[in-house]
């Protein structure tokens, strides 16, 4: 019998959270994970950079892992406002999200830049969560699979081992509109075809919530969820975390 790995449930807080509410959220989740036996999932919290150090403190010993939301591909230097993978590792991160569609859209990040960030993460022992996904126009033009396959080919560093890929259709992010499980299965199958490697988890993201998490997690090739809005509330995120 093959043992299925636990689902990977990552919370992307985006630009939300001051110290008090961020710590309260992290400690509520840390407490639930400490009390859970066995752990329902591998849980990763990705707070804004300002909270990473403090959140690392409250998560200590809980088994909940910490991730950054972005990184620079260079290790240090004159890059005002940026955070390097070494800095993330230094405060206790094990993961970093790279190539989120909000960064591709708002900061003109290309697949090449995303691949360089992912490679920088790997070189520091961090697991990059590499995001891909088509826009609504691309889906309506029948290009979803081709766009996503191309992003995976160009954003995942050669060989791909040690990475996580997240399929996040842009039109499903923050909209309350989730991709159908048929669409998710189809795109995840295409991503698996490109990756070829069974060990790379493929997450789904885009309006994942307590109401749809179980169905999404039961979809072929879905190894976990990348959760935005529903990760900002301990009860909702816990329901997602325990849905697998
Ligand atoms: P959402 O965000 O769950 O709020 O749609 C997901 C994401 O952007 O990672």
The pLDDT of residue 159 is 78
Mean pLDDT of the chain: 96
For 37-52, what is the mean pLDDT? 97
Note the CATH number of domain 24-29+43-241: 3.20.20.70
**Which atom, in ligand 1's list, is nearest to the CA of 97?**
9
What is the set of active-site residues? 100, 168
- Residues 226 and 205: beta-carbon distance below 8 Å: yes
For residue 198, the model assigns a pLDDT of: 73
Q: In percent, how much of the chain has pLDDT > 70? A: 99
In angstroms, what is the span from residue 229 Cα to ligand 1's centroid? Answer: 6
| Chain centre to alpha carbon of residue 42 | 12
**Does residue 119 register a pLDDT over 90?**
yes
pLDDT band at 2 (very low <50, low <70, confident <90, very high): low
Pairwise CA distance, residues 121 & 15, whole Å: 21
Q: Quick check: CB of 226 below 6 Å from ligand 1?
A: yes
Measured CA to CA in angstroms, residue 223 lies from 29, 42, 97, 108, 120 at distances of 21, 11, 16, 28, 24
Residue range 166-186, pLDDT digits in tens: 999 999 998 988 889 999 999
Average pLDDT over residues 34-43: 95
State residue 88's pLDDT score: 98
User: Can you say how many angstroms the Cα of residue 220 is from the centroid of all Cα atoms in its chain?
Assistant: 18
Q: Which two tokens stand for residue 6?
A: 């636990």
Sorting pLDDT into bands at 50, 70 and 90, what band is 1? low
pLDDT tens readout for residues 85-108: 999 999 999 999 999 999 999 999
What confidence score (pLDDT) does residue 114 get? Answer: 98
Taking the CA atoms of residue 88, residue 157, residue 64 and residue 179 in that order, the dihedral angle to the nearest 10 degrees is: 120
Alpha-carbon dihedral angle through residues 59, 43, 199, 210, given to the nearest 10 degrees: -170
DSSP state for residue 8 in the 8-state scheme? E
Cβ atoms < 10 Å from Cβ of 90: 12
Please list, residue by residue across 102-132, b when 16 or more beta carbons sit within 10 angstroms of its beta carbon and e when fewer do.
bbbeeeebebebbbbbbbbbbebebbbbbbb
pLDDT reported for residue 178: 87
**Cβ neighbours, 10 Å, residue 78:** 6
Instruction: Round to whole Å and give the CA distance between 191 and 196.
Output: 8
Whether ligand 1 lies within 6 angstroms of the CB of 168 is answered as: yes
Whether residue 133 has its Cβ less than 6 Å from ligand 1:
no
């Amino acid at each position: 019998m093959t043992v299925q790995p636990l689902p990977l449930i990552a919370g992307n807080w985006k630009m939300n959270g001051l110290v008090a509410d961020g710590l309260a959220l992290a400690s509520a989740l840390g407490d639930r994970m400490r009390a859970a036996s066995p752990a329902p999932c591998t849980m990763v919290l990705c707070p804004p950079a300002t909270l990473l150090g403090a959140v690392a403190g409250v998560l200590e010993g809980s088994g909940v892992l910490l991730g950054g939301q972005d990184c620079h591909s260079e290790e240090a230097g004159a890059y005002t406002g940026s955070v390097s993978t070494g800095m993330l590792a230094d405060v206790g991160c094990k993961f970093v999200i790279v190539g989120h569609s909000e960064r591709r859209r708002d900061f003109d990040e290309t697949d090449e830049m995303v691949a360089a960030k992912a490679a920088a993460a790997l070189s520091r022992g961090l697991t990059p969560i590499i995001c891909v996904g088509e826009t609504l126009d691309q889906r309506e033009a029948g290009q979803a699979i081709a766009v996503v396959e191309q992003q995976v080919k160009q954003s995942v560093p050669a060989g791909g081992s040690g990475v996580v890929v997240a399929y996040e259709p842009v039109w499903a992010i923050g909209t309350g509109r989730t991709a159908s499980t048929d669409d998710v299965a189809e795109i995840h199958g295409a991503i698996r075809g490109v990756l070829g490697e069974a060990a790379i988890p493929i997450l789904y993201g885009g309006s994942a919530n307590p109401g749809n998490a179980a169905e999404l997690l039961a979809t072929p090739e879905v190894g976990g969820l990348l959760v935005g809005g529903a990760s900002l509330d301990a009860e909702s995120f816990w329901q997602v975390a325990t849905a697998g």
